[in-house]
Amino acid sequence: MMPYRTPPKPNPPWNRALHQKWRLLDNQVTDYYNEASDNVKYLYALEKYCEPLYRCDPKSMQQYIPGLLYTVRMVFATSRYYNTTKQISTLLVKVTNQILNMCMEYLTNNGKKTIWNQDKLNFIEKAKVFTYINI
């Protein structure tokens, strides 16, 4: 009985070029996967500080802002992919927009009233809360 030999692989020129394209594509997919995994890890770290921005009023939200900003700073300092000013600026814009949305909901009683049909003194007291939010 003859020993088993693998048949020789054909190696036409187009096969080599195709193989190089696939290797390049595989490397790109791997890089994107690593970037996504790294970003998810850091975004989960931010989640516990961002969650109160969706459920708290401005008075109780203030206590979470220092921790949120510290975590953003740590993400910027340690992340491989989230360490550019563009990425962090985008994140901070989203956080700021959520704070503004929550403040607007607070001022308008969750959209039930406008600033014009509320008691003026009550509205002024609500607005004073925002002077204590330090961002």
Give me the number of domains the chain comprises.
1
Question: Which domain, by its residues, includes 69?
Answer: 15-132
Are the beta carbons of 126 and 107 closer than 8 angstroms? yes
Residue 86 included in any domain: yes
Residue 117 included in any domain: yes
Residue 4 included in any domain: no
Task: Return the H-helix or E-strand segment holding 33.
Answer: helix 13-50
Residue 5 included in any domain: no
Residue 6 included in any domain: no
**pLDDT (tens digit, 9 = 90+) per residue, 19-68?**
889 999 999 999 999 989 998 999 898 998 999 999 988 888 888 999 99
Whether 13 shows a pLDDT value over 70: the answer reads: no
CA 37, CA 34: separation in Å to the nearest integer? 5
Q: How many CB atoms lie within 10 A of CB 125?
A: 10
Are the beta carbons of 71 and 45 closer than 8 angstroms? yes
Amino acid 3: pLDDT:
62
Percentage of the chain beyond pLDDT 70 is 88
Residue 2 included in any domain: no
Amino acid 93: pLDDT:
96
